[in-house]
Amino acid sequence: MDLDTSIATWEQALSRESGRSAATVQQYVGDARRFAAWLQSHAPGSTLADLTPGDVRDYRDALLAAGRAPTTINRALISLGLLCDHAGRRDDNPVRRVDAVDEVEQAPQALSRLEWNAVRRAAEQRVSRDHSLSLALVCLIRYAGPRVGEVAALQLADVILSARRGTLIIRRGKGVKRREVPLIVEAREPLQDYLNERRRTAERWAQRSSARGERAPAWAGWPDGHLFLGQRGPLTERGVRLIVAQLGQAARLEQPLSPHQLRHTFATALLDPAAYGLDRSPATLPAVQALLGHSDIATTAGYTRASPADLARMLGEPSELD
């Protein structure tokens, strides 16, 4: 069977399978067709029955030479492996005998001190419009490090504040693990301002619902209910991402801002306080692991990888903080 026919038959089989989206099928088939075009110029007339590990290796190396990203190349190898399986070469699949391209893991991207200050100023400028929602949100993530899903799940009872201390309780962490994170003053003050307005929001919902002869929604209640509310109900993960992205734009950051970057910034400031102008000792990895809710300390260790800016600072180069 010629290569084009093999791919067309495989595409039909993929389309009939459940669990694969149309977009995924198109990616697989696109990878296969690009390989077919290359193979016909490399070894005209070849079929999948003739394919050797050397052919696959040559194709991988050609993609590397063309500057394709490791993720793109490795996805192509996965696609070709599935194609060969379908063509009856499961037991001697030549693709399975070719190594994937190693992907160099990039250091997590944290905001610099100046970038974070710009984001905070952008949030402060929205206080009169959103009643401290944006400021409380970004300061909580920056100074306590919850995941975006954990933020969206927070209830009022999960934040305990007093004049001198505070605690964030994550009851629905990854792996359904509970943890507590101390809240420093930089997180407490914006949260307290937001909570003052959040109480008034609950009163407005109660009055509105009473006028209609209805019960106020549970998520809008006080002292129970969701912590962060949007215009139509509890703030969703998408809503959290949108607010953070808007603040990044307002701060004129070079790259789009995500909640994950704020979480990275929280961890990075703990491990390298000097980079943020803090006169204190670096936190230990086990301590940061506990605060972030990582089950594997190797995940936490990823935050210790130095970025180019870190290396320059360590070598004595002037930085934006000097």
Predicted pLDDT at 199: 93
pLDDT at 290: 93
pLDDT-derived band at 74, boundaries 50, 70, 90: very high
Per-residue confidence (pLDDT) for residue 216, from 0 to 100: 85
Judge whether 225 lies within some domain: yes
Domain co-membership, 137 together with 93: no
pLDDT greater than 80 at residue 53 = yes
Mean pLDDT of 128-135: 96
Same domain, yes or no: 40 and 180: no
Tell me, what's the pLDDT at 239?
95
Q: Quick check: is 107 in a domain? A: no
58 lies in the same domain as 143? no
Average pLDDT over residues 239-262: 95
pLDDT of 19 > 70? The answer is: no
How many C-beta atoms surround the C-beta of residue 124 within 10 A?
Answer: 13
Query: Residue 27's pLDDT is what?
Result: 92
Give the Cα separation of 35 and 57 in Å (integer). Answer: 12
Residues 83, 130 within the same domain: no
Assess if residue 136 is contained within a domain: yes
* Mean pLDDT value across residues 112-125: 97
- The residue among 71, 97, 123 that closes a domain is 97
Residue 44 belongs to what domain range? 3-97
173 vs 225 pLDDT, higher one: 225
22 domain-assigned:
yes
Tell me, yes or no, if 226 is annotated catalytic.
no
Write down the pLDDT at residue 313.
Answer: 58
What's the confidence (pLDDT) of residue 316? 62
Residue from 34, 172, 260, 276 carrying the catalytic annotation: 260
CATH code, domain with 28: 1.10.150.130
Q: Among residues 174, 179, 241, 276, which one is catalytic?
A: 174
- Interior/surface letters 130-149, b for 16+ CB within 10 angstroms, e for the rest: bbbbbbbbbbbbbbbbbbbe
Do 258 and 130 belong together in one domain? Answer: yes
pLDDT band at residue 321 under the 50/70/90 scheme: very low
322 within a domain of the structure (yes/no) = no
The amino acid at residue 269 is A
pLDDT for res 284: 92
Q: Which residue has the higher pLDDT, 92 or 318?
A: 92
Decide if 42 is catalytic. no
pLDDT digits (tens, 9 = 90+) for 142-185: 999 999 999 999 999 999 999 899 999 998 766 657 899 999 99
- Which of 173, 182, 109, 179 lies closest to 147, judged by CA? 173
Give mean pLDDT, residues 266-283: 91
Residue 302, domain member (yes or no): yes
Number of domains present in the structure of the chain: 2
For residues 87 and 135, state if they share a domain: no
Highest mean pLDDT among 126-135, 217-226, 312-321: 126-135
| Catalytic residue status for 260 | yes
Mean pLDDT of all residues belonging to the chain: 89
Cα separation, 134 vs 130, in Å, equals 7
Q: Are residues 149 and 277 in the same domain?
A: yes
Q: Which of 154, 188, 185, 186 is nearest to 170 (CA)?
A: 154
Copy the structure tokens of residue 172.
Answer: 């629905």
Residues 172 and 299 in one domain: yes
Q: Of the candidates 29, 63, 97, which is a domain's last residue?
A: 97
Q: What is the DSSP letter of 309?
A: H
Q: What pLDDT shows up at residue 322?
A: 42
Tell me the pTM.
0.65
Residue 319 lies in a domain: no
> Looking at the structure, do residues 147 and 57 belong to the same domain, yes or no?
no
Active site (annotated) includes residue 194 = no
For residue 108, being part of any structural domain is answered with no
More confident residue, 172 or 298: 298
User: Which of 97, 125, 142 is at the close of a domain?
Assistant: 97
The CA angle 216-217-218, to the nearest 5 degrees, is 115
Is residue 263 flagged as an active site residue?
yes
**72 and 157 assigned to the same domain:** no
Dihedral sign, CA of 292, 295, 297, 303? negative
User: Catalytic: which of 188, 226, 263, 264?
Assistant: 263
Percent of the chain with pLDDT over 90: 64
Q: Which residue has the higher pLDDT, 306 or 209?
A: 209
Catalytic, out of 120, 142, 147, 226:
147
Interatomic CA distance for residues 43 and 77, integer angstroms: 18
CATH number of the domain at 273, please: 1.10.443.10
Tell me, yes or no, whether 148 and 40 share the same domain.
Answer: no
Tell me the pLDDT band of 45, cut-offs 50, 70 and 90: confident
- Judged by average pLDDT, the poorest of 65-79, 111-125, 135-149 is 65-79
Cα–Cα distance measured from residue 69 to residue 101, given in angstroms and rounded to the nearest whole number: 9
Instruction: Please tell me whether residues 133 and 213 are part of one structural domain.
Output: yes
**What pLDDT, on a 0 to 100 scale, did the predictor assign at position 22?**
84
**What CA–CA distance (Å, rounded) separates 75 from 128?**
48
Judge contact between 81 and 96, C-beta under 8 A.
yes
Among this protein's residues, is 147 annotated catalytic? yes
Q: What's residue 302's pLDDT? A: 76
